[in-house]
Amino acid sequence: MREAARERRARARQTPAEADREVRAKIAAMGPGDRTIAGGIHELVRRHAPTLVPRTWYGMPAYARADGEIVCFVQPAGKFKQRYLTLGFADAARLDDGRMWPTAYAVEALTPTEESAIAALLRRAVG
């Protein structure tokens, strides 16, 4: 909660370039496996959902609409001592599919198959 409060205060005076640097710094501070996957996801977001603004959210890399509403976030495995990194989507993501759909994905590796699936999810989330 302290991290979130600090982020809210900082966001008021942060430029988009500073926010991107902060997200990249969070990614650089991750363990090697998480860093590789999170860095790849960051690039996928920049390429396939360029309208999303990088920012941190509870200390994790996240991507928001221009109005500040979080669309997706990266939860490193190391943060909660899990065995896999999670790519999560908030309710602002437009992934609705019937009465039930996934909102988080475990990512153990980032191969072309996963990159393609993530790119499709990102395009749909901002569509």
Neighbours of 23 (CB within 10 A): 23
Worst-scoring range by mean pLDDT, 3-12, 58-67, 84-93, 105-114? 3-12
- What is the tally of structural domains in the chain? 1
Task: Tell me the C-alpha to C-alpha distance, in Å, between residue 75 and each of 14, 15, 29, 37, 94.
Answer: 22, 23, 13, 11, 20
Q: Are 119 and 102 in contact (CB under 8 A)?
A: no
Does the pTM surpass 0.85? The reply is yes
Determine the pLDDT at residue 1.
62
Determine the pLDDT at residue 55.
94
* 38-86 pLDDT tens trace: 999 999 999 999 999 999 999 999 999 999 899 999 999 998 999 999 9
- Say which CATH number the domain at 18 has: 3.90.1150
pLDDT at 93 over 90: yes
* 6-23 pLDDT tens trace: 666 666 668 888 999 999
> Half-sphere exposure of residue 12, counting CA atoms within 13 Å on the CB side?
5
Domain span at residue 21 reads 2-126
